Amino acid sequence: MLKYKDLLGLRNITKEEIDEILETAIPMKDIIKRDIKKVPTLRGKSMATLFFENSTRTKSSFEIAAKYLSADCTNLAVSTSSVQKGETLIDTAKTLEVMGIELFVMRHGASGAPHFLGRNTKARIVNAGDGMNEHPTQGLLDMYTMKDKKGDLSNLTVTILGDVAHSRVARSNIWGLIKYGTKVRVVAPETLIPVELQKMGVEVYTDVDKALKGTDVVNVLRLQKERQSSGLLPSLSEYNKFWGLTEKRLELLNSDAIIMHPGPMNRGVEIMPEVYENPNSVVDEQVTNGVAVRMAILFLMMGGKGSEDIN
Ligand code: CP
């Protein structure tokens, strides 16, 4: 079971808790492969998604995960809700809580918003991305995919390539992986490298070719056009030329290296279409694994007591 009421980030959870989530996701993935993808494990449990920012993968995979476990999932459409009349975050959550919601999956543009809600509601909170802070369930599904494909995380060199400054995915990957002793490299233009990065225990590069050499896993970040303030980058075509993952650059990786991207992709900017289609690309598997990992999280946070309870 997880130690805290809420799952807010990978910075403040233990390696043992991460192990428990990743191990619980293995039997969950078996359920996804079945013809009948439904178990009664969380029957009678109620959760809601509260997304103040757009999402395809995270929101729908939590909804699908809830359905496979027989939990009831309400998706609050924030753009047509009373939030638009000025209702506060706490009042919105409390309204749903008194209707019986036990867990919220929440995405918000402000860093710390899920932490704030967690302190002000009895319901459990799962952070589905808060500003530029963390995206823990993406970090967990990335770690699950790395472990599944490459084995022991402590033996790997993982290179995170791209817009680290704006990336909550990068932060959750780093906080999670350094707990396992993984060698984590980060490579980005100098304008997209946050000052606190060195203190997180990662190797920082500004030369892509040097960073990719000897890499077992390359995790390419989406260039977050919506969060770029003017002047950080000269142009998208230059970004692609100097920082994009091209077929030529794949030659620098270890021969069995895997290629990851959290999505959504800007094809032709941070990743070339043929790189996504490369046999070593696991981008689609990351999405499938996202359902299994989120099933594990819901199971552990909404009443599952042990693996014998899953079926
Ligand atoms: N990777 C990710 O968070 O994707 P969505 O924005 O589609 O949820």
Ordered by where they begin, the domains of the chain are: 15-135+287-309 (3.40.50.1370), 136-282 (3.40.50.1370)
Given pLDDT bands bounded at 50, 70 and 90, which one contains residue 3? confident
pLDDT at 230: 58
- Percent with pLDDT over 90 in the chain: 85
Residues with CB under 6 A from ligand 1: 55-58, 129, 135, 138, 262-264
pLDDT of residue 227: 58
**Rounded CA Rg of the chain:** 19
Q: Residue 137 Cα, ligand 1 centroid: separation in angstroms?
A: 10
Alpha helices by DSSP H, listed for the chain, are: 15-33, 57-68, 89-97, 113-119, 136-150, 168-178, 208-212, 236-243, 247-250, 273-276, 283-301
> What pLDDT, on the 0 to 100 scale, is given for residue 192?
86
pLDDT at 218 over 80: yes
The pLDDT assigned to 186 comes to 97
- In the numeric block, the tokens 């693996």 are attached to 307
Q: Tell me what pLDDT residue 235 has.
A: 82
Q: How remote is the CA of residue 56 from the centroid of ligand 1, in Å?
A: 6
Residues 212 and 275: beta-carbon distance below 8 Å: no
Closest among 283, 282, 292, 293 to 30, alpha carbons compared: 292
- Per-residue pLDDT band for 197 (boundaries 50, 70, 90) equals confident
DSSP, collapsed to helix, strand or coil, labels residue 81 as: coil
Give this prediction's pTM. 0.95
Q: What is the pLDDT of residue 198?
A: 81
109-149 residue pLDDT tens: 999 999 999 999 999 999 999 999 999 999 999 999 999 99
Which residue owns the Cα nearest ligand 1 atom 5? 55
Tens-digit pLDDT profile for residues 140-170: 999 999 999 999 999 999 999 998 988 999 9
- CA neighbor of 127 nearest in space, from 252, 260, 297, 261: 297
For residue 32, is pLDDT > 80?
A: yes
Q: Give the pLDDT of residue 224.
A: 78
- CB within 8 Å of 238: residues ≥ 6 apart: none
Q: What is the pLDDT of residues 43-99, one digit of tens each?
A: 999 999 999 999 999 999 999 999 999 999 999 999 999 999 999 999 999 999 999
Read out DSSP for 100-154?
Answer: T--EEEEEESSTTHHHHHHHT-SSEEEEEEETTTB-HHHHHHHHHHHHHHH--GG
Query: Closest ligand 1 atom, CA of 58?
Result: 8
Q: Determine the distance separating the centroid of ligand 1 and the alpha carbon of 208, expressed in angstroms.
A: 25
Residue 308 alpha carbon to ligand 1 centre in Å? 31
Cα 309 from chain centre = 26
**Closest C-alpha to 17, from 29, 1, 31:** 1
305 pLDDT above the threshold of 70: no
